[in-house]
Chains A and B, each alone.
Chain A
């Protein structure tokens, strides 16, 4: 039973998070910051594109370093 639960959890982790957890964590933090800025009536549309510009090269660099 425990093995089956672990397998299901591993499947969903792989399905949602994928190869690099940093991307998932970075996206969640960027969305939380966007929400916070928006609530404070500060324009926040630029935050997700900026996070993309930071996250993608960082994740690629981590992948390249591992190989």
Chain B
């Protein structure tokens, strides 16, 4: 995998996570208190930085084959879960990810909680909502950066890609002060699911001792093959009688991904 592919894979995955974290921080800031939400976000980012500082050097010490086996297994499990949800959404069997709706639900939840000051934090609920949201979504970013980066011996580039994604989404969120519902999140999740699955299959097999025909070039066949298979499953599931029972979506949305 070249540097460009590494950058794009990490960037796309991190944009999706950053959009979700931004929605939570915006909800905490809007419904509760901006200062508490900002402190919560900063605290979570600091905790994530510590995790990267501790785990980063440790991961790079693991022998490559063992690392690829573990990382491949995790990526494959993550990727298949993402792909599964994406296919269910695209086929109308699961409600599509809707940042506007999530934002409204978060606002309603947050508005009903009582206010309590703790130390420098004016509103503890707003702080914890923001902290937990950024930490949980950030953990996935950290995982993606460390796994993709260490496998390609370029954690620095993976970290830059993640940083660009987070900064871009955070800037957009601050500028519009509303959930980033115009980001094609469902489509991006579909694409990221395909990429995580493809890299998981490739690295997992290598880690388990298998050798791919064509070596790294096998990825060029794996990615489109998995994409085609996923689209075929979407078409099959849309065609079955129970499709759309939970969430009706227009036929054109299948091509729009998950």
Chain B residues near A28 (CB-CB < 8 A): 73
Please measure, in the bound complex, the distance between the C-alpha atom of A27 and the C-alpha atom of B230, giving whole angstroms: 18
B80, B211, B212, B245: the one within 8 Å of A56 (CB):
B80
Interchain CB contact under 8 A, B213 and A60: no
Report the stretch among B151-159, B180-188, B202-210 that lies at the interface.
B202-210
Closest to A55 in B: B80
B94, B208, B211, B229: the one within 8 Å of A53 (CB):
B229
Please measure, in the bound complex, the distance between the C-alpha atom of A60 and the C-alpha atom of B243, giving whole angstroms: 12
Interchain CB contact under 8 A, B226 and A63: no
Q: Which of A32, A35, A39, A56 has the most CB of B within 10 A?
A: A56
Q: In the complex where A52-B226, A64-B93, A67-B242 touch, is A45 in contact with B233 (Cβ < 8 A)?
A: no
Interchain CB contact under 8 A, B213 and A64: no
Closest to A40 in B: B209
Number of A-B contacts (CB under 8 A): 103
Interchain CB contact under 8 A, B80 and A45: no
Interchain CB contact under 8 A, B80 and A31: no
Chain B residues near A43 (CB-CB < 8 A): 210-211
Chain A residues near B242 (CB-CB < 8 A): 64, 67
A24, A31, A39, A56: the one within 8 Å of B204 (CB):
A31
CB 8 Å contact bits of B132-167 with A (1 = contact, 0 = none): 000000010000000000000000000000000000
Interchain CB contact under 8 A, B88 and A34: no
A-side residues, CB < 8 A to B, are 15-20, 23-24, 27-28, 31-32, 34-35, 37-39, 43-45, 47-49, 52-53, 55-57, 59-60, 63-64, 67
B-side residues, CB < 8 A to A, are 69, 72-74, 76-78, 80-81, 83-85, 87-88, 93-94, 139, 197, 200-201, 204-205, 207-213, 218, 222, 225-226, 229-230, 233, 237, 240, 242, 245-246
